[in-house]
Amino acid sequence: MKQALIALALCALLAWAVWREPVPLVQHREVFALGTLLQLSVADPLPPPLLSKVQAELRAFEKRWSPQGDGELARLNALLASQPGAPLPEALRAGISAARDVCLSSDGLFDPAMGALVQIWGFDDERNFRSEPPPASAIEQALSASPSLCAAELGDSIKLTGIGARLDFGASAKGRAVDEIIALLHRHGIRNAIVNAGGDLRAIGRRPDRAWRIGIRHPRGDGPRAVLASLDIADGEAVFSSGDYERYFLHEGRRYHHIIDPRDGYPATGSQSATVLHHSAELADAAATALFVAGPDRAADIMQRMGVGLWLLVDAEGGIHASAAMRERLEGLP
């Protein structure tokens, strides 16, 4: 009789284990930040106070790096509008120095001092969004009046080759922010998470059951064909993509998107999307922009100069280019 009861208890336990609602392996939280929807996917316990800390850090970051307003960068820009040089706030030094180095290694394809150009194209702010290209004369003027960050001297202060520079780190700020949030999570004991800022992401650790798996969106795909390829990412890897399919307007049958070529002041032609894999989100962000602008002809060269070994480019005709190392990592690539 006792045996029967024990057996029954064991069966009940087994039944409960089998039929209860599975505990989610990964928790997801979404916040609006960095001009997009930022998603945190965490496989470790995520205490609510930590989420608040993340949001506070994001607010501080946005203020610090916003080209206008009353943050550090905005005040620096106000000075640089009429002077070639100004003192560099402590909080901006590391970021600007890193950006200058990337400017050089990208051969000027990534140039955050082109803020004036970004501004006249109107992609930086919802309110300035355009429906037709700015007049050619305005583009010419913005182009000639902007000194390049590549030639800047940095230290306690910044010295550029001319006045009128407007620093806009839109092409690398998300990456920097993602790196900072990852570091914040790490400091608080999180070892397995993804920080995804509207399609630009970095991961640490892995899921309990497998590695983090990322899909790369097809620039022209929708619905069932939305994903171009997928890959498993390793601890600390970032995946950043630049594309012409999110921020753009159509005018007289032509697409004008937000990735401006610093060489001619117009949206870069030649690419539909560019994706970079790297352990530094800040570099991956800048590199994805540079790769997009470089186009299929200069892609391999520029990526090598920037120290990026894993990259993928879809050109204007839909042709796929990728480094050999990246092809090995990707699954499902046509």
Partner 1 sequence: MTRADSLLLLLLCLLIGALFRQLWVSGGQAHELHLHAQDGTQNWPLEPARRIEVEGPLGHSVIEIRDGAARFLSSPCRQQICVRSGWHRHAGAVAACVPNRISFKLSGGGDSDYDGLSY
Q: Applying CB under 8 A, which residues contact partner 1?
A: 3-4, 7, 11, 14-15, 18-19, 26, 28, 30, 32, 35-37, 39, 41, 126-127, 129, 194, 196, 198-201, 203, 207, 212-217, 222-224, 226-227, 230, 239-241, 243, 245-247, 273, 275
Rounded to a whole number of angstroms, the minimum distance from the CB of residue 81 to partner 1 is 27
Taking the complex as a whole, how short is the minimal distance between the CB of residue 211 and partner 1, in angstroms? Answer: 9
Q: In what order do the strands lie in the sheet with 157-159?
A: 85-87, 157-159, 153-154
Tell the smallest beta-carbon distance from residue 54 to partner 1 (Å): 17
What's the rounded Cα separation, in Å, for the pair 215 and 228? 7
- What are the DSSP E strand ranges found in 147-199? 153-154, 157-159, 193-197
Q: Which is nearer to partner 1, 245 or 266 (CB)?
A: 245
User: 183 or 226: whose CB is closer to partner 1?
Assistant: 226
> Residue 127's CB: how many other CB atoms inside 10 A?
6
Chain centroid to CA 58: 14
Nearer to partner 1, 162 or 309 (CB): 309
User: What is the nearest approach in angstroms of partner 1 to the Cβ of residue 241?
Assistant: 5
Nearer to partner 1, 82 or 131 (CB): 131
For residue 269, what is the DSSP state? P
Q: How far is the CB of 276 from partner 1 (least distance, A)?
A: 10
DSSP-assigned beta bridge partners for residue 38: 31, 197
Between CA 9 and CA 321 the distance in angstroms is: 60
> b vs e for 77-115, b when ≥16 Cβ sit within 10 Å of the residue's Cβ?
beebeeeeebebeeebeebbebbbbbbbbbbbbbbbbbb
CB nearer partner 1, residue 84 or residue 198:
198
Kindly state the smallest distance separating residue 227's Cβ from partner 1, in Å.
7
Nearer to partner 1, 203 or 268 (CB): 203
**Half-sphere exposure in the Cβ direction for 71 (13 Å, CA):** 15
